[in-house]
Structure 1
């Protein structure tokens, strides 16, 4: 490597994302630049460092030995940059700007609009951004400032507060139950079609682990979020798993199979510990925690 060459961090960041995604097209979408521009950035970095970082073939890109070695150091640089950014955000006492909250579609549509309206009355210059996703956001990489999660986090540099418990049940439409002549007293398991809340294997494995009666269940449809799941149930496609608090907003969903209770889910409010030194972030975190505790229907 030529030590007189300037090391462009933006090029290094592009290299990191390409290495993580394995393709220029995926990396370009993630960074938000065109694929040709990304390709030039990688070429410029290789020229700066006087080394080849990727093997290029019809199958895609793969790291060279030099690329693998560089990736270790670039990851360390990226982590250090994230920590510095978190520290800077955490020491700010300005109530202007943005706070990003990540939550599932259910929490994003049911609780956060009411919460944001309340915050607007307190902090009119603050913008609250909602990231609605069922994926786990990486708070250490600042994908969000605060997250509502189903389950306690395990990362050591995150803080968390338990704000509630969600209980779940089996639900179906009246039309579907009549079509299969359903009876809670004498259940014909082979006649029931289930709606998967994730992948088929996950639902089938989960139901089988609960009881041998659920072995070889029929999966009629699948959805990756609560709103779509409820829509499928209402159309009479099958029996689905829904949180009891969500089902309360849908009186046409009928709860069944009460003799087979489902596991509960603890709801945790999570943030990076560095942000807790900020009056702004801590205020929103504390307000949201209290709001969820007061408004969640824990039954």
Structure 2
């Protein structure tokens, strides 16, 4: 830039734009750095760009992986308690086989974070969202099956009820299979039409290469997530309507709270996911996976485990019959 009032040979040099350098004095033009390098502070050299992704070495990645690993042991521990206490009234009344399947699916929910932490490899990008969608579909379909089983079991006891032929484990398994088949079709279509792939983001943060998994088709991603929301909403509605059934074995209230917490977490996740950048986008999804899994685990199984382990006198037929009698009188 020419200095006013000075000869034309006198001028001030402007700094090069970001990402460009000049290693010559009084150079007329700046030189653009290559795509994988960036200018230093003095803007006289191009240095390799920093690579950013959610890794196990990052404090955030380390904390999330530690919490997830510890959390995955909780459903296995509860499963051990249920297997050991499978002949007790509380475990038998709350559908032992479905409870075990739900605990196994929660174990997988806590572990599916493994696909989100680490350098995005092609195989990891291809399968991580699909694995997340299928595992959570299994979890929520188990909750839906448990809810419908509660309603059928209560109404089947009425004289002349046609629901007696539907009472049993088979109907619950049919619900689980159908719900998961729909999610499987969505995921397979996603993989065939527009699968996820690794991508380098050079523009969000100057001087930093953000390694991300491009979801391929964002439509399929939201369809997969929306289907989980649909299953959770159905579970919430059915459980809410069945919450006042006069049965001491009724767990509809716990399912109502768990699905309410699940939906709240994922509704809060949407704006946070859209506004986050870089590795924080992945961290938000991992955080939502952890919180929603804990919501289901805590609301449905913690009260049962508390009674089984710390209040065994309530885990008896006599006590539960007395509770049922009191409720029927009211």
Report the structure number with the largest CA radius of gyration: 2
Structure with the bigger RCO (C-alpha within 8 Å, sep 6+) is: 1
Instruction: Answer whether TM exceeds 0.5 for this pair.
Output: no
Band the TM-score falls in, shorter-chain normalisation: under 0.3
Which structure's residues are more often strand, by fraction?
A: 1
TM-score by length of 2: 0.20
Which structure's residues are more often helix, by fraction?
A: 2
